[in-house]
Amino acid sequence: MLIDTYGRVATDLRVSLTDKCNLRCTYCMPEEGLQWLAKPDLLTDDEIVRLVRIAVTRLGVRDVRFTGGEPLLRPGLVGIVERCAALTPRPKMSLTTNGIGLRRTAEALRTAGLDRVNVSLDTLRRDVFKTLTRRDRHQDVLDGLAAAREAGLTPVKVNTVLMPGLNGDEAPELLAWAVDNGYELRFIEQMPLDAQHGWKRDGMITAGDILRSLSTRFTLTEEAGGERGSAPAERWIVDGGPHRVGVIASVTRPFCSACDRTRLTADGQVRSCLFAREETDLRAALRSDATDDDVATLWKLAMWGKKAGSGLDDPTFLQPDRPMSAIGG
């Protein structure tokens, strides 16, 4: 069991498969990209599967999310999913992607055992997409979403970040589109994920702003129960249902007290939080003939020291020095 000193138990593993991406989103990385990890520094397919196996069979992990960078750029992705799906107990498996490669891979991923996908899409406007991502691939993302839905990778969730002066007015339009296409839309407050450290707290669109904008066109009813537990999204029923919309208020309404996540970076480091400044090196253990018990013990120690919160709610928060592309979302 991966438990920390605050009594939280991590059952959700996020695995970054690569630091590379085929987009250059303005809130994530500079136009020229980053200095990518050297291939020997990346975990191999076998090492990834071994760590997932240890997490699932020895540490109580039940959910595995493959992330990046852009995980569809990982050549061995389908094989990794297939091997993890064969584990006992079988974890629930999902993928966070920009959607560009989904049209050609969705069916294979579903056959391999992937359960569902989260696709990042911040705008319905091709010109705004090109400005945000510095790439003209908007239609590829729309095609990828449709392919995921047709392959049965459902519910297909769409992650959207709104930014003033770019797509800040699109919330109602995006929700209408998601409802029409059967996608579950989730708005995410912009977090300090950019390598160039350009994020400013006073320039972000908050969860409150988003809900006010949506309410100009839709009737939103807070989901019954109101308690989200460890789920990051607060959800609302749209116009009486059955469609729902989520808002992840990581900055203004943090949910750290119920966090159930552990993170594995593309180069084999355990992080107890997306914004942690400390890492525990599991890659070195794997490559020095450590036993599964040895690796599990290292992982437990890493999670035991997890801090109470991410620090995002602190106005003096300092962004991590390490680029987020290798850490995963």
pLDDT at res. 245: 97
Q: How many helices (H) and strands (E) does the chain have?
A: 9, 14
- Whose structure tokens read 């605050």? 6
pLDDT at res. 302: 95
pLDDT at res. 253: 81
Task: Return d(Cα 52, Cα 320) in angstroms, integer.
Answer: 26
What stretch of H or E contains 15?
Answer: strand 12-16
Q: Is 148 helix (H, G, I), strand (E, B) or coil?
A: helix
Per-residue pLDDT of the chain (329 residues; tens, 9 = 90+): 999 999 999 999 999 999 998 888 777 776 666 778 899 999 999 999 999 999 999 999 999 999 999 999 999 999 999 999 999 999 999 999 999 999 999 999 999 999 999 999 999 999 999 999 999 999 999 999 999 999 999 999 999 999 998 999 999 999 999 999 999 999 998 866 544 445 455 568 999 999 999 999 999 999 976 555 556 789 999 999 999 999 998 888 877 888 999 999 999 999 988 878 789 999 999 999 899 999 999 999 999 989 887 655 555 555 555 555 556 65
pLDDT at res. 199: 45
End-to-end CA gap in the chain: 22
pLDDT at res. 229: 53
Q: Which residues touch 27 (CB under 8 Å, ≥6 apart)?
A: 132, 161, 163, 190, 193, 194, 198, 199
Cβ atoms of 19 and 266 closer than 8 Å:
yes
Q: What residues are paired with 186 via a beta bridge?
A: 159, 246
**DSSP result, 50-90:** HHHHHHHHHS---EEEEESS-GGG-TTHHHHHHHHHTSSSP
